[in-house]
């Protein structure tokens, strides 16, 4: 089906309901307005991916994948939707005095906070049913669905619809079933540089840099004063058999250097003093 055909499906569904004087439920109307319609022959939404085939492209570790790092990350990121909501609410009130919501709405912030608490920081796995979110924040299914759409529009999340083959389906019956979406938490483009700078860490103090340099210079001077065999013993920490081989080579180099030094002292080989 072409994009044009899909775009035409939404208004047609609404027009057909109006012509036939069919009362549409809130959920059905929202789906039709968004351009969704079930696939022919199966009760799953178009563009649904089979479970297990899309998640690796949707779910990514949050920040560094640790619980501490993930909580810091989403805690910092949560400032952005709250700031956006406050800014757009003030702007809307200039046109509609008394408006209670901005671009995301109070419920949008609640939904995002719920998802930030629910996500697995180590994998990014996030797959709650809409009703689970609604029950978790004490809101209706329709209100949560609308909030999710606003959050997706503003770049804070995205989702992929998924389906699953039915075990032991009835002959001629439904073969697949719709399951909960796979959600991805996103960082709006304008916030990415700010977050990188925030988590890059403060520069190392100059005194600490000087201390590290002094230690490094002292260590290198110590190594320069050692014979090849002593240097090997001071730095080698690998395989023992290979270490013994390298030790013998180092001892040979030391013996050669000693002979050269003795020859150089009498000028027999023309070596330098």
Q: How far apart are CA 258 and CA 245, in angstroms?
A: 20
Q: How far apart are CA 60 and CA 77, in angstroms?
A: 16
136-162 average pLDDT score: 94
Average predicted confidence (pLDDT) for the chain: 74
pLDDT at 195 over 50: yes
What does pTM read for this prediction?
A: 0.57
pLDDT band for 66, please (50, 70, 90 cuts): very high
Q: How far apart are CA 198 and CA 34, in angstroms?
A: 37
137-163 average pLDDT score: 94
pLDDT band for 38, please (50, 70, 90 cuts): very low
7-24 average pLDDT score: 48
The dihedrals phi and psi of 45, each to the nearest 5 degrees, come to -75, 150
Q: Which domains does the chain have, with CATH numbers?
A: 1-37 (no CATH), 44-199 (1.10.10.10), 202-266 (no CATH)
- The model's pLDDT over 69-116, given as tens digits with 9 standing for 90+, comes to 899 888 888 888 998 999 999 999 999 998 899 999 999 999 999 999
CB 264 within 8 A of CB 239: no
Burial class (CB in 10 A: 0-12, 13-18, 19+), 40: exposed
Q: How far is CA 112 from the centre of its chain?
A: 15
| Tokens read off for 121 | 């920081």
Q: Which residues contact 167 (CB under 8 A, 6 or more apart)?
A: none
3-class DSSP state for residue 263?
helix
3-class DSSP state for residue 42?
coil
CB 101 within 8 A of CB 146: no
Range name among 10-19, 61-70, 121-130, 220-229 with the lowest pLDDT average: 10-19
């Amino acid at each position: 089906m072409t994009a044009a055909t899909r775009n035409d499906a939404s208004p047609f569904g609404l027009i057909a309901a109006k012509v036939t004087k069919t009362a549409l439920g809130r959920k059905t109307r929202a789906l039709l307005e968004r351009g969704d319609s079930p696939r022919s022959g199966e009760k799953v939404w178009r563009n649904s991916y089979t479970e297990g085939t899309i998640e690796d492209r949707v779910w990514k570790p949050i920040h560094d994948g640790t619980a501490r790092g993930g909580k810091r990350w989403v805690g910092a990121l949560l400032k952005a939707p709250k700031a956006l909501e406050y800014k757009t609410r003030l702007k809307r009130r200039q046109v509609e005095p008394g408006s209670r919501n901005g671009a995301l709405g109070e419920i949008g912030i609640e939904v995002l906070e719920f998802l930030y608490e629910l996500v697995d920081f180590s994998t990014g796995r996030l797959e709650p049913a809409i009703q689970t979110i609604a029950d978790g924040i004490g809101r209706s299914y329709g209100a949560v669905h609308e909030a999710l759409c606003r959050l997706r529009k503003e770049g804070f999340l995205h989702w992929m619809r998924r389906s699953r083959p039915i075990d032991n389906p009835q002959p001629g019956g439904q073969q697949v079933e719709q399951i909960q979406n796979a959600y991805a938490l996103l960082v709006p483009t304008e916030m990415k540089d700010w977050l990188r700078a925030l988590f890059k860490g403060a520069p190392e103090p100059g005194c600490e840099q000087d201390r590290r340099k002094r230690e490094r210079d002292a260590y290198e001077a110590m190594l320069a004063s050692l014979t090849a065999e002593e240097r090997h013993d001071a730095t080698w920490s690998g395989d023992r058999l290979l270490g013994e081989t390298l030790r013998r080579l180092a001892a040979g180099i030391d013996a050669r250097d000693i002979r050269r030094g003795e020859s150089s002292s009498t000028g027999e080989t023309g070596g330098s003093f």
